[in-house]
Amino acid sequence: MSKKLKLGLFGLGSVGQGFYELLDQSKSPNLEIKKIVIKNPTKTRTIESSIFSTTPTDILDDLEIDIVVELIDDAAVALEILKQSLQRRKPVVTANKKMLAENLEEIFWLQKKYNTPVLYEGAVCGSIPIIRNLEMHYAYDALESFEGIFNGSTNYILTKMIDEKMSYEGALGQAQKLGFAESDPTLDVKGYDARYKLAISIAHAFGCFVKPSNILGIGIDKLSAYDIRFAKQQGCTIKLIAKAQKIGNKVFGIVAPTLIPLENPLANIKNEFNGLTLIGASTGLQMLTGKGAGSLPTGLVVLSDVASLASGFKYPYPKTTDDNSVAFEKDALINVYISSITSGVIRITDFEEFTGGYQGQGAHFMKGWISIKKLLEWIDRKDLSVLLTGDSYFRVYEPKKAHEFSLA
């Protein structure tokens, strides 16, 4: 790094503040924040005021600013900032998972069009280097699958419910008090946040783009005491798992509460921590774990992305092909356990392969292989809860054929 690089920072919230502090402490002779654009000019700040602006062009049109660091909480505005930065050939670092997940294919092409990179390690599981590993370490490995705990708030809530027998409401309240969950926790508990991270990871793991809305996301908000008791009886815990698998040229993915056997390494990822296991053709099973969010953990990966840009790094997207030969497939068969407090809601015929069911402890249980499409029909039902069985992956869905017969 020869020349001192000047940075324009959008947003000084939790992540922006962490990034600012870490850069300040590093006393880097090579990186300097020239301008910070925020939304609310009257907010009390600890940093000297002349650096602030509420006008985006103060960064975008400043020819001295080399890199844009986008850390705001508004996905639509963030996308506009990203586009305008690339048009001006300014590389971008962002942690905005919603914006990235919903627009990743377009962002991939914009980087090519303007020959200007975007790095976004902070968008997937905070401090854990997932995207960089998928891009570099696994670039030449035929990755088969990965699964992980991609959301710290829900992992914290599940840990408290299962290990400390807290109620869902009590655990959620505690997560909110500690700042792990938002005051509106819908994004976390209904699995949206994990879906954003899964969509981004799928692009880097398998080279295909998928909109998060095409991934089935089942949250943790319908889990019952029966489910937790059932999990314990099976020698399992429950985690909100985001998982994906490649079969031939098809990629499958889902976010759902999952029965995880206690001997699975993901069972020991507790509280707000995140973790991921990957199965590669050459590597077998490998694991990454760490803090999935927070001011300093995420601020650090943002700083690391800035330093990487400064030394000329960009994502090579080694698995992405121009002909979209690998594609995401919405439907698949998955192995589930479904419980309901009402009888007659789930029928054996709902399953492609029914493997068992019983009534007990005040609930009805059914197990077997079912299509994602079928599960989608039940997504808004409050009296049903779905758990994936943790020891299985996806099967390609070939709908039951009508009984074939010949008159000849």
Verify whether residue 27 is a known catalytic residue.
no
Per-residue DSSP letter, 283: T
Does residue number 77 form part of the binding site for ligand NAP (CB under 6 A)?
A: yes
Shortest-Cβ-distance residue relative to ligand NAP = 13
Q: Of these, 3, 27, 43, 382, which contacts ligand NAP (CB under 6 A)?
A: 43
Helix (H, G, I), strand (E, B) or coil at 364: strand
The answer to whether residues 365 and 338 touch, using CB atoms and an 8 Å cutoff, is: yes
Considering the candidates 97, 197, 222, 243, report the single residue annotated as catalytic. Answer: 197
Query: Minimum Å distance from CB 85 to ligand NAP?
Result: 13
Query: Minimum Å distance from CB 222 to ligand NAP?
Result: 25
Q: Please report how the helices 168-177 and 152-163 are oriented relative to each other, as an axis angle in degrees rounded to 10.
A: 130
Q: Of these, 10, 20, 168, 397, which contacts ligand NAP (CB under 6 A)?
A: 10
Question: What's the chain's length in residues?
Answer: 408
- Closest to ligand NAP by CB, 13 vs 316, is 13
Does residue number 14 form part of the binding site for ligand NAP (CB under 6 A)?
A: yes
Residues of this chain, 85-124, that bind ligand NAP according to CB under 6 A = 95-97, 122-123
In this structure, the strands spanning 52-53 and 284-291 are unpaired
Between the alpha carbon of residue 48 and those of residues 4, 12, 65, 238, the distances in Å are 21, 13, 19, 47
Does residue number 293 form part of the binding site for ligand NAP (CB under 6 A)?
A: yes
Query: Minimum Å distance from CB 52 to ligand NAP?
Result: 9
Query: Minimum Å distance from CB 273 to ligand NAP?
Result: 13
Pure H helices in 223-342: 225-233, 295-310
Query: Minimum Å distance from CB 208 to ligand NAP?
Result: 23
**Residue entry with tokens 């001011």:** 295
**Residue entry with tokens 């919405």:** 330
Query: What is the Cα–Cα distance from 348 to 281, expressed in whole angstroms?
Result: 36
Which segments within 197-249 are labelled E, that is strand?
216-217, 236-247
- Closest to ligand NAP by CB, 150 vs 252, is 150
Report how many residues bind ligand NAP under the rule CB under 6 A. 26
Query: Minimum Å distance from CB 391 to ligand NAP?
Result: 30
Does residue number 191 form part of the binding site for ligand NAP (CB under 6 A)?
A: no
Q: Of these, 5, 33, 67, 72, which contacts ligand NAP (CB under 6 A)?
A: 72
**Quick one: which segment of 73-81, 156-164, 225-233, 347-355 binds ligand NAP (CB under 6 A)?**
73-81
Does residue number 126 form part of the binding site for ligand NAP (CB under 6 A)?
A: yes
Kindly report the backbone phi and psi dihedral angles of residue 31, in degrees, each rounded to the nearest multiple of 5, phi listed first. Answer: -130, 135
Give me the residues paired with residue 143 across strands: 280
Query: What is the Cα–Cα distance from 94 to 100, expressed in whole angstroms?
Result: 9
Give the DSSP H or E segment for 25: helix 14-26
Burial letters 84-118, b for 16+ CB under 10 A, else e? bbbebebbbbbbbbbbbbbbbeebbebbeebebbb
- Closest to ligand NAP by CB, 7 vs 375, is 7
Does residue number 73 form part of the binding site for ligand NAP (CB under 6 A)?
A: yes
Q: Of these, 117, 294, 368, 390, which contacts ligand NAP (CB under 6 A)?
A: 294
Which residues are near ligand NAP by CB under 6 A?
10-16, 37-40, 43, 71-74, 77, 95-97, 122-123, 126, 293-294, 298
Active site residues: 197
